[in-house]
Amino acid sequence: MPNSKPTTPFSGKMERKGNQGEIAGILVEFLEVAITSVVYLKGIYPSGAFERRRYMNVVVQRARHPQLREYIHSAVSGLLPSIQKGLVERVAVTFFNTDNIPMERFIFKLTVNQSFGSKVEESDLEFSLRSFLIKLSVSQPLTTVLPRDCRWEIMAYFRSLPQVSTSKDAEMWIPTDTKQWQQPPLITPIKSMNSEPLGLQLYLEHPSPSELVSG
């Protein structure tokens, strides 16, 4: 399945037209907060680079540095049209060592029922997503210690790529040249939900011990 990473920043107003638009809009806003929480959790920036905010009645972290905040915002908001169409399978926050080899991935696996016709109560959806933010905030013991000079990026895995001719948002996502693991990764579940019309799984991926030896 293709995976891509954002190039230039993109920002735009999130419009929630219809049921799918509302679900996708809430999901994109959640992903922006959750990805910021992941970056804060890993401690690769000083704590002063973040500030406390309240979202979905949960205390979360917001990036204070404009470039960091814009990178996360532009990446996830650029996925909005593709999430509305059910094209995005996974969104990953990937951390690399100095050899540009992935050492840890936080995976958000998405399923949006495109044929769901009933109205979705926003409060019900937010209640379910809130539990992910709470669980994420206490998940550090499940993670690995990263080297001090590691880097990270946001990646998206598409079920099928958007048509470039019909979507300007497809142009901001390019195929990545990131090195891939040769062995199946070790998976650690963090949280999951399956409540129509949205299914969401959050889990960690780490390289297998044989991968580290061979690398």
Q: How far apart are CA 200 and CA 164, in angstroms?
A: 27
**Distance in angstroms (rounded) separating the CA atoms of residues 104 and 151:** 11
The string of DSSP codes covering 27-54 is HHHHHHHHHHHHHHHHT-S-GGGEEEEE
Looking at residue 142, its pLDDT comes to 95
Write down the CATH superfamily of domain 17-211.
Answer: HORMA domain (3.30.900.10)
Q: What is the pLDDT of residue 182?
A: 81
Give the phi and the psi of residue 11 in degrees, each rounded to 5: -140, 145
**pLDDT of amino acid 9:** 31
* Per-residue model confidence (pLDDT) at position 98: 87
pLDDT of residue 148: 81
- Encode 62-100: b = buried (16+ Cβ within 10 Å), e = exposed: bbeeeeebebbbbbbbbbbbbbbbbbbbbbbbbbbeeee
The pTM score is 0.84
Cβ contact 88:77 at 8 Å: no
Query: What is the per-residue pLDDT for 101?
Result: 87
Q: Chain-centre distance of CA 57, in angstroms? A: 20
Q: Tokens 């951390």 sit at which residue?
A: 95
Question: What is the pLDDT at residue 206?
Answer: 95
Per-residue pLDDT tens digits of the chain, which is 215 residues long: 344 444 333 233 334 444 667 888 999 999 999 999 999 999 999 989 999 999 999 999 999 999 999 999 999 999 998 898 889 999 999 999 888 889 999 999 998 887 776 777 788 888 889 999 999 999 999 999 888 889 999 999 998 876 654 445 545 555 665 667 788 899 999 999 987 788 999 999 999 887 765 55
Residues 20 and 189: their CA atoms lie apart, in Å, by 27
What separation in angstroms does the CA of 108 have from each of 19, 30, 33, 91? 21, 11, 13, 5
Query: Which pLDDT score, from 0 to 100, does residue 172 have?
Result: 56
